[in-house]
């Protein structure tokens, strides 16, 4: 809820989010009000900060968040680059195997 608040959500929306029975329902409420991009941007910043503090020194971490249908809702700043590097490494080590991820 705090990320939605930081994105500009008003009290009525925050109450709808709080009353939501599922994460998907909360996402629908946030999206219908037009605050999903800003909310996810702030959430991904927080996730990135948390991962950076919690990961062992030298371990590169990134994150991607999807809804239940598989739609990408957000990703940390370096997620696309890290995913590309991992795919290249996997393709180089496993020629002939399909990594469509």
Q: Residues 50-72: pLDDT tens digits? A: 999 999 998 999 999 999 999 99
Position 49 confidence tier, pLDDT thresholds 50, 70, 90: very high
Alpha carbon distance 49, 41 (integer Å): 12
- The DSSP 8-state label assigned to residue 53 in this structure reads H
Taking every pair of Cα atoms in the chain, the longest distance, rounded to a whole number of angstroms, is 54
Position 97 confidence tier, pLDDT thresholds 50, 70, 90: low
Return the pLDDT at 1.
Answer: 85
Rounded to two decimals, what is the model's pTM? 0.81
> How far, in Å, are 50, 56, 87, 92 from residue 47 at the CA level?
5, 15, 23, 30
Position 44 confidence tier, pLDDT thresholds 50, 70, 90: very high
The residue with tokens 């020629």 is: 95
Position 101 confidence tier, pLDDT thresholds 50, 70, 90: low
Which residues pair with residue 66 across a beta bridge? 72
**Coil, strand or helix: which one is 12?**
helix
**Domain residue ranges of the chain, discontinuous segments joined by +:** 2-93
């Amino acid at each position: 809820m705090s990320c939605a608040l930081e994105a500009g959500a008003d009290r009525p929306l925050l109450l709808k989010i709080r009353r939501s029975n599922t994460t998907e329902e909360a996402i629908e409420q946030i999206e219908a009000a037009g605050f999903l991009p800003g909310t996810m941007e702030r959430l991904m910043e927080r996730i990135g900060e948390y991962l950076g503090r919690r990961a062992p020194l030298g371990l590169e971490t990134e994150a991607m968040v999807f809804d239940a249908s598989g739609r990408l809702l957000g990703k940390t700043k370096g997620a696309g680059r890290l995913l590309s590097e991992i795919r290249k490494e996997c393709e180089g080590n496993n020629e002939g195997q399909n990594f469509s991820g």
